Amino acid sequence: MPRAGVTPERIESVAAQVVDHKGWDTLTLSAVASELGVSVPSLYKHVDGMAAVRRRVTVRAVMQMADRLTTAAVGRAGADALGPIAQAYRSFAVEHPGQYAATIVAPAADDEEHMAASGRVLMPVLAMIAGYGVPADRSIDAARFIRSALHGFVSLQLAGGFGLPDDVDASFDRTVAAVDRALSTWE
């Protein structure tokens, strides 16, 4: 009989908390079971192993990222949307570093749920890019550029890579301003 309170959704939630506190690479069924106060074998009544838990946490994280970016972009386009989208991206990464790490890998072509979630992340970004007048056939290049700039910055920040005393927030603002200038002249 399944233990009361242990559901696939609860396992996903606890796994998300584990990765945010201990890191994406440290996620194990043992860590999740320990947090839930159950044995590892009892988790198999609810999930099909570690790969299933990782996938659930990934889709959850991508959906949360999509919600943040969409909310940030509402009523905005082009340069007016870039700053809020960049801040939403960064704040999600800082608040949920383990879940952020789960969002990095592209979905498998046959994973419809993950593909749909990733599409939701891309929608506000593409709308913002269109506001810059970037031609549709160049928008994916622009989206990859934006993601690379933001990911590089937040990854360094999360890893403690900014040890100099200069204001990290000011550096982020300058990075976003440089992205804005690049998008304004995108060919």
> pLDDT tens, 8-54?
999 999 999 999 999 999 999 999 999 999 999 989 999 999 999 99
Sorting pLDDT into bands at 50, 70 and 90, what band is 2?
very low
pLDDT over threshold 70, residue 4:
no
Q: What pLDDT, on the 0 to 100 scale, is given for residue 3? A: 52
Q: Give the span between the Cα atoms of 70 and 115, in whole angstroms.
A: 17
pLDDT over threshold 90, residue 187:
no
Is 102 within 8 Å of 64 (Cβ atoms)? Answer: no
By three-state DSSP, how is residue 4 classified?
Answer: coil
Q: Give the span between the Cα atoms of 90 and 153, in whole angstroms.
A: 9
Structure tokens at 146: 């934006």
Report pTM.
0.92
Structure tokens at 40: 């590892």
What pLDDT digit, counting tens, does each position of 168-185 carry? 999 999 999 999 999 999
What pLDDT digit, counting tens, does each position of 63-87 carry? 999 999 999 999 999 999 999 999 9
Averaged over 124-137, what is the pLDDT? 96
Mean of pLDDT over the chain: 95
Averaged over 93-100, what is the pLDDT? 97
Is 70 within 8 Å of 123 (Cβ atoms)? Answer: yes
By three-state DSSP, how is residue 68 classified?
Answer: helix
